[in-house]
Structure 1
Amino acid sequence: MEKLVQTAKILSDINRVKILGLMQREKELCVCEICDTLKLSQPLVSRHLKQMREADLVETSQSGKWVIYKLKPNNTIDCFLKELQKSIQELPQIISCQKI
């Protein structure tokens, strides 16, 4: 029950829903790509991603100095993500960071 409540809290914020949608569409994103694309501050995006990690919705991997985020397979939000897929084209195009 606690996991459902935590997931519901994640889904109650439009910016977190947009981040989930971008991850669903792009598969993998770094923080700077999310910040630039959604025009959100880095501390805010990092806080949202931390909440998503704690809810076991996203996982991370290291790519040089960048932390890459992607959705974890999760039956709790699969139905939600299928519905989100219908609106995914409304999200802005990714502004890629300059990974060197």
Structure 2
Amino acid sequence: MEPISAPSSSPRKGISKWWCIGFFIAAVIFFIIGAALVSAYLSAGYKTCTSALSYGDYTYDYSCFTGNIGEYNGGIAMLVLGGLSKFIAWVLLIVYCVQRRR
């Protein structure tokens, strides 16, 4: 029988700097798309709905927007994805810098 040898102790390859750069670029793209969607929604203008419902002492007044609410929700989602991508990019950058020192 052949003896079992220990695995070779080759140096571990760290993460590439392109992961950090890629997440930063993705964050910028998400922020641009999110801002465009939110501003497209808000540029449609406001329209006040004049309906009011009364239930005893409680009165329910509401106002509404003109435009597609999906643009607003999509814009908020893109801004959240941009923030998440930026956070991941910073974490990867810190990990990359710490690995380079070792």
TM-score higher than 0.5 here?
no
Of structures 1 and 2, the larger Rg is shown by: 2
TM-score where L is the length of structure 1? 0.28
TM-score where L is the length of structure 2? 0.27
